[in-house]
Amino acid sequence: MSLTGADLKERAKMHSSEVSSFVSKARATINEMANLPVPTIAAIDGTALGGGLELALACDIRVAASSAKMGLVETKLAIIPGAGGTQRLPRTIGVSLAKELIFSARIVDGEEAKSIGLISHVVEQNEAGDAAYRRALALAREFLPQGPVAMRVAKLAINQGMEVDLVTGLAIEEACYAQTIPTKDRIEGLLAFKEKRPPRYKGE
């Protein structure tokens, strides 16, 4: 999937009412991505500008090639990020730095993105041009053996907990933990540990 963002030539032909509808649909789609119950990983091997970076910001983890280019460049066009960028970027890299990047419409490469916390992993690009994709697959393979119910509620606990104070967050964690107790997978995990074998989770 290309993360380059909206087709600006197409946007230039739109009536102002069409622009609002377009941005609203983009925001809804990106919010759906953010609310998926499974872990999501954005692999950025090329360019993620504007809406492309907003989509990546909606993912749980971002991986990029060192040569990748990322930025929320909307202020260059006399608009602002409209699909979550003004909210997700500061939550990811901090308020002051997010303001700097949005105000300047600066584009950063993979190395700088890693140094400011925009991405979790940076990799040297390979000849095939899919180094970030390959790193994302490796991460996904680390996630796959874990209990599906635990993965879902861990994501829920983290996401909801980050929006509230610590005491409320701990109560959310407790409620999420409680969802794992009656599962067959929890018993399977204990049995597998006792029997020194890989667990066979079914998401039940």
The DSSP H or E segment spanning 188 is helix 184-194
Residues 6+ apart with CB under 8 A from 92: 57, 98, 117, 118
Active-site residue identified among 5, 50, 51, 82: 51
Q: Among candidates 30, 38, 46, 29, which has minimal Cα distance to 133?
A: 46
Reply yes or no on whether 74 is catalytic. yes
Q: Among candidates 70, 56, 54, 68, which has minimal Cα distance to 129?
A: 68
Active-site residue identified among 54, 65, 83, 84: 54
Reply yes or no on whether 6 is catalytic. yes
Rounded Cα–Cα distance for residues 131 and 125 (Å)? 5
Active-site residue identified among 5, 6, 131, 157: 6
Reply yes or no on whether 129 is catalytic. no
74-101: b (≥16 Cβ within 10 Å) or e? beeeeeebbbbbbebbbebbeeeebeeb
Rounded Cα–Cα distance for residues 136 and 22 (Å)? 29
Rounded Cα–Cα distance for residues 64 and 48 (Å)? 10
Active-site residue identified among 64, 65, 71, 74: 74
Query: Where do the H-state alpha helices sit in 1-147?
Result: 8-12, 16-34, 51-57, 85-93, 95-104, 110-115, 131-143
Reply yes or no on whether 54 is catalytic. yes
CA 182 to chain CA mean position, Å: 30
Please give the positions annotated as active site: 6, 51, 54, 74
